Amino acid sequence: MNHHPIALTAKRDFAHVDTWVFDLDNTLYPHEARVWPQVDARITLFVTELFGLDGLSARALQKYYYHRYGTTLKGLMRENDIKPDDFLDFVHHIDLAALEPDPALGQAIADLPGRKLILTNGTIKHAENIAGKLGILDKFDGLFGIIEAGFTPKPERATFDQFFARHGVDPTRAAMFEDIEKNLIVPHDVGMKTVLILPKTPDPFREAWEQAAIDAGHVHHITSDLTSFLRAVR
């Protein structure tokens, strides 16, 4: 596995790639933009109001669903039969004021050969809002979110299979950029090149395992600077 800066030999790893797939949250922007903590807090608030719980109990239930089902939403749908649209509209109603345009990242993405796609456990609307604020939305050829995945989140194999089918992706000619290590297991298994994006500084709003530099066979490269990595690949 190569840690950034990317080794010259590693550039060959991406020579065959014609489809570049990016996660959204904490991958295309730094955690300092305070986007994900707002979503996380809105999820807690939704659970609080839905069940009439205190904040601590709501947080515990939220994390139980997250660990058992992959997302809080899937747990709420499975066990409480909630309507997903209400939940998604509520939790993505956030302030993007701290999210700065990133023209350097936009250029690095634009310079990649082939198609560029976003694959997120959020909604396409959320992805459009984020990428629009970053000024990079027009660099992408397609977006795929949790609704298109039938509300089954990454890291489930079915989510990736639906994504590949909808966008005609040959995984053996594709690369996946993702901030959560376990979400790279399936991409690796189907032949994608995998890149784990780590925060430049520890994110106090996420658990340690969610931002660890995992030395595992399914993680081909690790970087904390996506823009420089993409430039180096080119």
Tokens of 215: 């030395």
List the domain range (segments joined by +) for residue 167: 2-32+100-233
Residue 5: per-residue pLDDT: 55
Distance, C-alpha 112 to centroid of its chain: 19
What CATH code is carried by the domain that includes residue 69? 1.10.150
User: Are residues 193 and 17 in contact, defined by beta-carbon separation less than 8 angstroms?
Assistant: yes
Do 40 and 135 fall into the same domain? no
> Whats the size of the chain, residue-wise?
234
Do 160 and 56 fall into the same domain? no
Residue 6: per-residue pLDDT: 63
Tell if the pTM clears 0.85, that is, is over it: yes
pLDDT of 146 higher than 80: yes
Do 64 and 20 fall into the same domain? no
For the chain, the C-alpha Rg in angstroms (whole number) is 17
User: CA–CA separation, 222 vs 224, rounded Å?
Assistant: 7
Strands 19-22 and 142-144: unpaired
Do 82 and 166 fall into the same domain? no
Do 139 and 221 fall into the same domain? yes
Residue 3: per-residue pLDDT: 57
Distance, C-alpha 73 to centroid of its chain: 16
Beta strands in the chain (DSSP E): 2-3, 19-22, 115-119, 142-144, 174-178, 193-197, 221-223
Do 72 and 183 fall into the same domain? no
pLDDT of 1 higher than 90: no
User: Are residues 87 and 123 in contact, defined by beta-carbon separation less than 8 angstroms?
Assistant: no
Domain end residue (candidates: 91, 119, 134): 91
Do 128 and 80 fall into the same domain? no
Residue 27: per-residue pLDDT: 96
Do 23 and 75 fall into the same domain? no
Arithmetic mean of pLDDT over the chain: 93
| Residue 26 zone, left/alpha/beta (φ > 0; ψ -120 to 50; rest) | left
